[in-house]
Structure 1
């Protein structure tokens, strides 16, 4: 059974951006694994990091990332995928002190891409995936940007489907495409999807729905507006089962 490995910056990115194709691949006989990089619990958060959970209605004493990891397990189950949670800290715990800073480019002292490289190297060696799925970093969120940089350092030598980052791709206020020149070298294809399973997976991220979409109804509208479509840039030769019929 071939293995498809989705490298997700956050606990929701793979489902939001590529959940449809991940579900279809799982249904077609692929083993699908979603490895999320930035999932570490950081005790006693403060400042902007704390606000990132309290503005979602969670009390300061809540283990925000534990709640999110549980959501991710439910989401991956809905897709027919397995989840791995890697021990890196999200950007608000690495010196990014505002929402604007998250989209202003990586700090010069932020070495998270090197840390990601170090945790992904043994993972790729042990799993030997036939296909990798990963973000294009559309929108320019620093954790997405550093995920791409880590993959560039890895040079995995297997085909990569670079997904379009949703919901950033729909927003006029996050238009940055820091890897546009690189991605333009790769052909763009439509992906086979399972919209119902994608919706079920995305809905599992209950802590994020108000912030990202205004609630469950907003999620449903946003997914309907995509008409179930997912697209990706293809680096290398794409396995037949990952192509649209």
Structure 2
């Protein structure tokens, strides 16, 4: 089930995953989410950047480049991605809360003008931190017993970094961090991020051999993202969605086996 405000939540939840964008939770934690659902636990994925920009608005060159890569017009882009997210969460067995914040490329187009500025320190006047802090305080009050999961910030996407900072501020030492996939798959990316984080972190390995196939199916539901992710993250020159999806899911499966060794796994940090 998809919710659009905290007031709509009718259940308590055992696990709350903070997903900056419409795909981050499935990419990074889909195996664990599915396993938790199978174990009879309630999972809520709170996706932050789900607001629709005005199609009549002025879009930066960066936003236009993403629209082209996704094969979507400004009027279609968020609606399409929301449909994909709903399908993916249904596969994983999780409920979703769409928080209604704007993606960085729409929220602050004068600050985030290139991939270099998008994968960098957030702008000092970015309003998302205050929005997320308010939301997370309300979430914690509404779901005091839930375990909260936030991105570690690997890859340094500004939306991931802002989510990390706000969650760490509000939730504190009880926060669980997940590895940002696909950025964590880059050699050295995890070590680089850990070197920048000023807290002691202990890893936990979560075997996902029973749910890896469901995770990969959920990832593949984000059809609009497959080509761009395969090109930007895997360096492939693919234009076909089917080929891109096969390449991306194969790479993620291989990474899961790299993390888990004998069994495919996801890694969290506490």
Match of 1:200 in 2: 217
1:24 CA displacement: 0.4
* Alignment counterpart, residue 253 of structure 2, candidates 224, 227, 231: 224
Residue 123 in structure 1 maps to residue 139 in structure 2: yes
**Kept in 2: contact 1:145–1:178 (CA 8 A):** no
Residue 38 in structure 1 maps to residue 55 in structure 2: no
**Kept in 1: contact 2:168–2:175 (CA 8 A):** no
Residue 83 in structure 1 maps to residue 119 in structure 2: no
**Kept in 2: contact 1:8–1:37 (CA 8 A):** yes
Greater relative contact order (CA < 8 Å, ≥ 6 in sequence): 1
Matches within 5 A, 1:3-152: 3-44=14-55, 45=57, 46-47=59-60, 48-60=62-74, 62-93=75-106, 94-95=108-109, 96-152=112-168
1:99 CA displacement: 1.3
Question: Structure 2 vs 1, CA of residues 179 and 22 (structure 1 numbering), >3 Å: closer, same or farther?
Answer: same
Question: Number of aligned pairs?
Answer: 232
1:7 is paired with a residue whose SS is strand
1:87 is paired with a residue whose SS is strand
2:265 is paired with a residue whose SS is coil
Match of 1:161 in 2: 176
Match of 1:242 in 2: none
Q: Distance in 1 between matches of 2:125 and 2:153?
A: 20
Answer 1 or 2: which has greater helix percent.
2
1:22 is paired with a residue whose SS is helix
Question: Structure 2 vs 1, CA of residues 8 and 115 (structure 1 numbering), >3 Å: closer, same or farther?
Answer: same
Question: Structure 2 vs 1, CA of residues 103 and 125 (structure 1 numbering), >3 Å: closer, same or farther?
Answer: same
Q: For 1:122-177, what per-residue CA distance to the aligned partner results, in whole angstroms no more than 9, with x for missing partners?
A: 222113342111110001110000001111221356x3321111110112596784
1:55 is paired with a residue whose SS is helix
Match of 1:240 in 2: none
TM-score normalized by the length of structure 2: 0.79
Question: Structure 2 vs 1, CA of residues 223 and 87 (structure 1 numbering), >3 Å: closer, same or farther?
Answer: same
1:124 is paired with a residue whose SS is helix
